[in-house]
Chains A and B, each alone.
Chain A
Amino acid sequence: MAYSEDRPGIRPRQSWGRRLDLAARHSFPANCTILLMLLCQAPFGVVDQAELLPVVTLTCVWFWSLFRPAAMPPPVVFAIGLLLDLLGYFPLGVGVLTALTVHGLALRCRRGLAPQGFAVIWLVFAAVAALAAALAWAMTMLLTFRLLPPGPALFQAVLSAALYPALAVPLARAHRTIADPGRA
């Protein structure tokens, strides 16, 4: 999204504070995704906590790719995917590919989905998350030359769909407030 800086008109002075503010707002989506990913690894002692990491990562990538693609460009998605690989102990590249796939699908659906209501976006995300879980499962099997039980992938898909509202509501709030460059 082009900033107001590109358009003619009266603008506030480019002070250091303002530049910092803009940069913080612009990088909020990537930063909050990475922070949430690191938080997922914290010792909460929740059973099956490992499942949380891909779910949270893909939800964030989906949300920001859909609503603010300028702040979630492909190189950032690549970096997030790499972090997912390293933190989640996936074979190298699997997390990157899934994150980029979710990002690509979000960009493809953007035109049609952005004006839709919450429920439609949720439904489409459930399908995308199921696809992403299946992709990660298939690629992991391919790269480890081994048949894996489909249970964890299925659980990841269900968990993604179930946790989406809990994550999307605060993210949508942030999207309108602290992540909005227009408010700088």
Chain B
Amino acid sequence: MLRFSVQTRQALARLTLPVLVAASFGLMLLGKADAVLADRARIALADALVPIYAALAQPLAHVRAAVAEAGELWSLRAENTRLRAENDQLRRWQSIALALDAENRRLKANLHWIPQQAPSYVTVPVVADAGGEYAKAVLLALGPRHSVRRGEIALDEAGLVGRVTEVGKRTARVLLITDMNSRIPVILENSHAHAILVGTNGPYPRLIYWPEGTPPQEGERIVTSAEANVFPANLPVGTVRHTASGVPEVVPAAHLNRLEMVRLFDYGLNGIVPPEAARVAERAH
């Protein structure tokens, strides 16, 4: 081992901090130069940590359920009345839906409609928040021999959650529609006008680029558009709401704050080439 004098050792100790601060700037440059490097490191770390989180998820879910149940006991009566009213309303809607479904099938039979293939999907648990202060994403636990790939679409029971952006050995990261980097082509359901849904990192993403003359209406449903070949058409996204200053934003249909399970659909869409594949193609040329 090297032996230094006391003065040299003290000088070296004093130098460590500035050198490491310089190294942190170097790290920033490295992160900018090779964006895939950080993603790979993150997904490798997630792969290592996911079994721990998956093991923790069950007892934590029990605790959360117990707490929620204690709260629900207070409002049981009011909740019951509300549910009865809602049930009546839903029954009326169900009869309408059944009639429409029958009519739709009859019309399609008359038109020789080519039925779309039902997409394959897997249901996977959400194990951790994979976002941060400036990113909104969730981490999914997959089996060791999964066939999930980038670009698959995540839905919960109510609506669109996001897209798979990174896939590891037993994890996948889903970028939520509320993330700042999320841009989704959508259709306003009443006017059939196209628009883009832009995440803001807040709970409500915003709408931009709708055609002049068809502004989003309050309460209007928003569904995905098949444009750009990234999403299939007509997945429910949410409903329009205007802020106090009149900016249209969307209340997501999916429960993005408390995701427990999501379904990953493989629609086989390749509208956007993921950066990793693009790099590989670049190197091949």
Complex contacts, B61 vs chain A, CB 8 Å: 43
Check: A58 CB closer than 8 A to any chain B CB: no
B132 with A100: CB separation less than 8 A: no
User: Smallest distance from the beta carbon of A56 to chain B beta carbons, Å?
Assistant: 13
When C-beta atoms are compared, the residue in chain A nearest to B37 turns out to be: A92
Complex contacts, A94 vs chain B, CB 8 Å: 28
Check: B30 CB closer than 8 A to any chain A CB: yes
Check: B64 CB closer than 8 A to any chain A CB: yes
C-alpha spacing A88/B134, complex, angstroms: 9
A89 with B31: CB separation less than 8 A: no
Check: A165 CB closer than 8 A to any chain B CB: no
Complex contacts, B57 vs chain A, CB 8 Å: 43
Cβ contacts A147-166/B at 8 Å (1 or 0 each): 01101110010000000000
Check A78/B128 contact, CB under 8 A, given A51-B133, A87-B45, A92-B38: no
B132 with A43: CB separation less than 8 A: no
B24 with A88: CB separation less than 8 A: no
Cβ contacts B109-149/A at 8 Å (1 or 0 each): 00000000000000000111111111101000000000000
B20 with A100: CB separation less than 8 A: yes
A50 with B42: CB separation less than 8 A: no
Check A93/B24 contact, CB under 8 A, given A42-B56, A143-B31, A146-B180: yes
A73 with B45: CB separation less than 8 A: no
Assign chain B's interface to a size class: 35 or more
Q: State how many residues of chain A have any CB contact under 8 Å with chain B.
A: 48
B132 with A41: CB separation less than 8 A: no
C-alpha spacing A31/B133, complex, angstroms: 24
Check A92/B133 contact, CB under 8 A, given A86-B41, A104-B17: no
Cβ contacts B238-255/A at 8 Å (1 or 0 each): 000000000000000000
Determine which of B30, B37, B64 lies in contact with A45 in the assembled complex, contact meaning CB atoms within 8 Å.
Answer: B64
When C-beta atoms are compared, the residue in chain A nearest to B19 turns out to be: A74
C-alpha spacing A41/B37, complex, angstroms: 22
Determine which of A92, A107, A146 lies in contact with B31 in the assembled complex, contact meaning CB atoms within 8 Å.
Answer: A92
A89 with B131: CB separation less than 8 A: yes
When C-beta atoms are compared, the residue in chain A nearest to B21 turns out to be: A100
C-alpha spacing A88/B131, complex, angstroms: 6
When C-beta atoms are compared, the residue in chain B nearest to A96 turns out to be: B24
C-alpha spacing A89/B38, complex, angstroms: 9
List residues 25-84 of chain B with CB under 8 A from any CB of chain A: 25-32, 37-38, 41-42, 45, 49, 52-53, 56-57, 60-61, 64
A152 with B17: CB separation less than 8 A: no
A93 with B49: CB separation less than 8 A: no
Cβ contacts A41-60/B at 8 Å (1 or 0 each): 11111010111011000000
Taking A91-B31, A143-B32 as given, write out 20 further A-B residue pairs in contact, using a Cβ cutoff of 8 Å, ordered by the A residue number: A38-B49, A41-B128, A41-B129, A42-B128, A44-B60, A85-B27, A87-B132, A89-B134, A89-B135, A90-B134, A91-B38, A92-B31, A93-B25, A96-B23, A100-B24, A101-B21, A104-B17, A149-B202, A152-B201, A156-B133
- Nearest first, the 10 closest Cβ-Cβ pairs linking A and B are A92-B31, A93-B28, A93-B27, A88-B132, A89-B132, A96-B24, A89-B135, A97-B24, A152-B133, A74-B16
The contact sample of 19 A-B pairs, CB cut-off 8 A, is A41-B128, A41-B129, A42-B53, A43-B53, A43-B61, A43-B126, A44-B64, A45-B64, A50-B132, A89-B132, A89-B134, A89-B137, A90-B133, A92-B28, A93-B24, A93-B26, A96-B20, A148-B180, A156-B133
